[in-house]
Amino acid sequence: MQGSRYSSTLEVIALAICIGGKLFQRLPAFRHVFLNLNWIPAYAGMTPPSLGSYGGQALLRPSRLPASSGCIQSRNDWDYAGQVAGQASKPGVLLLRIKAFDSIKIIFHYVSGIFKILSAAGFMLIYNFISFAGIFGLMFIAWLCSANRRLLNWRVIFWGTVLQLIFAALVFWAPGSRSLFQWLNDAVLKLLSASEAGQKFVFGALGTGETNLGFILAFQALPIIIFFSALMGLLYYWGIMPRVIRVFAWLFTRLMRVSGAESLCTASNIFVGIESLTSIRPYLVRMTRSEYCTILTAGMATVASSTMGIYVLFLKDIFPGIAGHLISASILSAPAALVMSKIIFPESEQPETLGEHVKISPSDDAGAMDAIVNGAMAGLKLVGGVIALLIAFLGMLALADMMLGWLSGKFGLAFSLTGLLGRVFMPFALLIGVPPEDASFAGNLLGMRLVATEVPAYKELAVAMAAGKLMHPRSAVIIAYALCGFAHIASLAIFVGGTVAMAPERRKDIVAVGFRALAAATLACLMTAAVAGVFCR
């Protein structure tokens, strides 16, 4: 019954694409493109390619186009696997059934055709198509890592991918998107400027960089976390952030039909970090293992607004509109997290809040001032955590490099942990559309993010951009999107520890899905970068 439902859905999609293709073919602005390309299958009157051997047929009208129209010059242009089978129930109409596999072939064929149109019109490059293919390549890798390959939630996969593509198209191609990006960038820069007032008062010239000592992370970047954390606390108290989060949560629950609790947590993670768990505290104890994987993935696949300011500070002088890009990256990563988590750990139980809309718990702050104070204190704890993690993990990374260097030196070689991880992630960089000239550098940054957090990775990206080391302009955009997430070992410990603290009786289940969630979060960040690569030149 379930397979029949999916097959029917694919039939509808394939038929809609066929009809859309016919209508699109009649648009005067694109007629010359169709008349000069031989890849368009004239589904009106001609056999769809490779459908015959599967017994696939479609509800279509015979072509009334003249043979000289140029849409298809020869039947030999196609590799026909067989002939159309079936009888015409009406004059000029073939009633045929399309099997699921045939529908997928038609959909893939037309999607490829759309990219060829865009390429011919100057909207698409080969790297854009590689990024598009990379989206499905990443999902295939996730499927290979799945806890149950027989269970696939096609609804989550379809709508999660569609939501990302639609939002990315609006970000990169919609009229006025450049102005919106500039407005967001200016707004964030003004907030950063406002945060410098407190830094300068406390740390003096060290807090604003007005010395010849250069950039100092502890004095010029990390205090931004305290300011943004206090601001988010105030916005939560005023009810602004809860309203925005409810919109995203409703969208995820409605379209993907996942549980309301994991939708709410995923939507919250667009704007906050580990604090998102407090919004679903009443449901944590009764969640399924798949839900635990999802909330951990969502936490590690996105970034908090408080830390995003640091990345903007690194790149604002050399990457125009970086704030808008990072905001869109965090939004895109939310549906990507749902897709990857549900592929790697599909739902096999019955979630308590499946399909329900869960409400956000109201703020318990006594007033606006109390909200600012609580937010600032939470930010201070976060700063301490970031400092501790950077000192510990960068030190461990240096120690690992020393050990690998010593061992490899015995054999006349030179290895480092960062270099090895860079080689592991280099194919992923190519898969998401990073040009080969920059793929090695991108792989090194992705490997660095995994073991040393995203902060030094963004710092290295800023240094490379300032030095002109990147060979292709799209590389910086894709790398910035790929790094925009807490997908690293330190964050895994934070999120698993935070979740266990709120539901100690489910410790074994939470810990068991931890590394799968890290893999899903890493793939989700890469998927976000691939989606950006589809539309970025």
Most confident of 137-141, 250-254, 382-386: 137-141
What pLDDT, on a 0 to 100 scale, did the predictor assign at position 490?
Answer: 83
What pLDDT, on a 0 to 100 scale, did the predictor assign at position 67?
Answer: 37
Are 324 and 496 in contact by the 8 Å Cβ rule? The answer is: no
What pLDDT, on a 0 to 100 scale, did the predictor assign at position 379?
Answer: 80
What pLDDT, on a 0 to 100 scale, did the predictor assign at position 295?
Answer: 93
Cα separation, 400 vs 452, in Å, equals 12
Cα separation, 532 vs 537, in Å, equals 10
Quick one: what percent of the chain has pLDDT higher than 90? 24
What pLDDT, on a 0 to 100 scale, did the predictor assign at position 520?
Answer: 96
What pLDDT, on a 0 to 100 scale, did the predictor assign at position 335?
Answer: 94
What pLDDT, on a 0 to 100 scale, did the predictor assign at position 367?
Answer: 87
* Residue 292 confidence class, pLDDT cut points 50, 70, 90: very high
Averaged over 303-329, what is the pLDDT?
A: 84
pLDDT over threshold 80, residue 222: no
Give Cβ neighbours of residue 101 (< 8 Å, ≥ 6 apart). 54, 56
Question: What CA–CA distances, in Å, run from 72 to 40, 115, 141?
Answer: 7, 18, 37
Q: What does the pLDDT look like over 194-220, one tens digit per residue?
A: 888 888 888 887 777 666 666 677 777
Q: Which residues pair with 171 in a beta bridge?
A: none
What pLDDT, on a 0 to 100 scale, did the predictor assign at position 117?
Answer: 57
Higher pLDDT, 125 or 133: 133
Cα separation, 255 vs 156, in Å, equals 8
Q: What does the pLDDT look like over 458-501, one tens digit per residue?
A: 999 999 999 988 988 899 999 999 999 989 888 888 888 888 88
- Is residue 86 one of the residues assigned to a domain? yes
Tokens found for residue 277: 């768990």
Q: What does the pLDDT look like over 5-51, one tens digit per residue?
A: 444 444 545 555 555 554 444 444 444 433 333 333 333 333 333 33
Poorest-pLDDT segment among 57-66, 154-163, 427-436, 465-474: 57-66
Higher pLDDT, 139 or 276: 139
Q: What does the pLDDT look like over 437-466, one tens digit per residue?
A: 999 999 999 999 998 888 889 999 999 999
Poorest-pLDDT segment among 92-96, 247-251, 501-505, 530-534: 92-96
How far does CA 306 lie from the centroid of its chain?
20
User: For all residues of the chain together, what is the average pLDDT?
Assistant: 76
pLDDT over threshold 50, residue 377: yes
Which residue, 238, 233, 263, is CA-closest to 249? 263
- Is residue 302 one of the residues assigned to a domain? no
Cα separation, 453 vs 391, in Å, equals 11
- Is residue 218 one of the residues assigned to a domain? no
What pLDDT, on a 0 to 100 scale, did the predictor assign at position 296?
Answer: 94
What pLDDT, on a 0 to 100 scale, did the predictor assign at position 51?
Answer: 35
Burial class for 384, CB neighbours closer than 10 Å (0-12, 13-18, 19+): exposed
* Residue 517 confidence class, pLDDT cut points 50, 70, 90: very high
What pLDDT, on a 0 to 100 scale, did the predictor assign at position 477?
Answer: 92
What pLDDT, on a 0 to 100 scale, did the predictor assign at position 15?
Answer: 52
What pLDDT, on a 0 to 100 scale, did the predictor assign at position 7?
Answer: 47
- Is residue 306 one of the residues assigned to a domain? no
- Is residue 23 one of the residues assigned to a domain? yes
Averaged over 320-329, what is the pLDDT?
A: 86
Most confident of 146-155, 174-183, 299-308: 146-155
What pLDDT, on a 0 to 100 scale, did the predictor assign at position 340?
Answer: 96
- Is residue 510 one of the residues assigned to a domain? no
Give Cβ neighbours of residue 204 (< 8 Å, ≥ 6 apart). none
- Is residue 111 one of the residues assigned to a domain? yes
What pLDDT, on a 0 to 100 scale, did the predictor assign at position 283?
Answer: 86
Question: What CA–CA distances, in Å, run from 274 to 205, 266, 295, 379, 514?
Answer: 32, 11, 10, 12, 15
The model carries a pTM of 0.73
pLDDT over threshold 50, residue 114: yes
What pLDDT, on a 0 to 100 scale, did the predictor assign at position 107?
Answer: 55
Tokens found for residue 438: 């920059």
* Residue 519 confidence class, pLDDT cut points 50, 70, 90: very high
Range of the domain at 15: 2-124
Poorest-pLDDT segment among 184-193, 365-374, 421-430: 184-193
> What is the number of structural domains in the chain?
1
pLDDT over threshold 90, residue 301: yes
- Taking only Cα atoms into account, the Rg of the chain, rounded to an integer number of angstroms, comes to 26
Q: What does the pLDDT look like over 84-97, one tens digit per residue?
A: 333 333 333 333 33
Poorest-pLDDT segment among 60-74, 163-177, 345-359: 60-74
DSSP 8-state code for residue 354: B
Poorest-pLDDT segment among 242-251, 342-351, 476-485: 242-251
Higher pLDDT, 435 or 185: 435
- Is residue 27 one of the residues assigned to a domain? yes
What pLDDT, on a 0 to 100 scale, did the predictor assign at position 58?
Answer: 35
What pLDDT, on a 0 to 100 scale, did the predictor assign at position 74?
Answer: 37
